[in-house]
Structure formats: C-alpha cells, structure tokens
Amino acid sequence: MEESQAIVQRIFIRCAEKTGSASALALRLRIPYSEVTTYMGGHAMPPEAVLVRAVEIVIEDLPSIRSGFSDAAWRSLPLP
C-alpha cells in the first residue's frame, strides 16, 4: 500500500470511530457505505471534496494521525 493511501486509511478509520460507525460516516459524508469501506481498507483514494470533509471531522486528531508518515506523503494528498 502506498504511504498516501495508508494516511487516508488512518483518516477514515478515525472518522468512523468519531462518528460511531462506517455507516454513520457514510451518511455524514454523503457517500455510499461501499466507498467508505474502500477508503477504510486503503484500497483507493477519495475525491478531494470527500477527503476534505473527512479531514474536517478529525482535524484535532491530525497530529496523531500524521505520526509516522513522511512530509512528502502528506503533501501528495489532494488537500487544498
């Protein structure tokens, strides 16, 4: 798995924890449950708009989410 996909996976797993479940996260992000589980599994990169909404959910957790990943991997994410 590419490092940037691992970051996205960590973000989506933390989002699901914060919202209560993957189903709740899908509703909050307004995307299908199957997409949420794909991102949680680290199998694909979400569109920029979806990633931004996910980051907004876990913004205060980003320092711990970022831990262990390179700056280059963070810069490669499609975030504004």
Tens of pLDDT, residues 26-68: 999 999 999 999 999 999 999 999 999 999 999 999 888 888 8
User: What is the C-alpha separation between 41 and 19, in angstroms, rounded?
Assistant: 17
* Residue at token pair 């798995």: 1
Task: For residue 63, give the DSSP letter.
Answer: H
Query: Which domain, by its residues, includes 69?
Result: 3-75
Calpha distance 47→43 (Å, rounded)? 13
Residue 71 lies in a domain: yes
Asked, for residue 80, whether it belongs to a domain, the answer is no
pTM of the model: 0.91
Per the structure, how many domains does the chain have? 1
What is the pLDDT at residue 1? 67
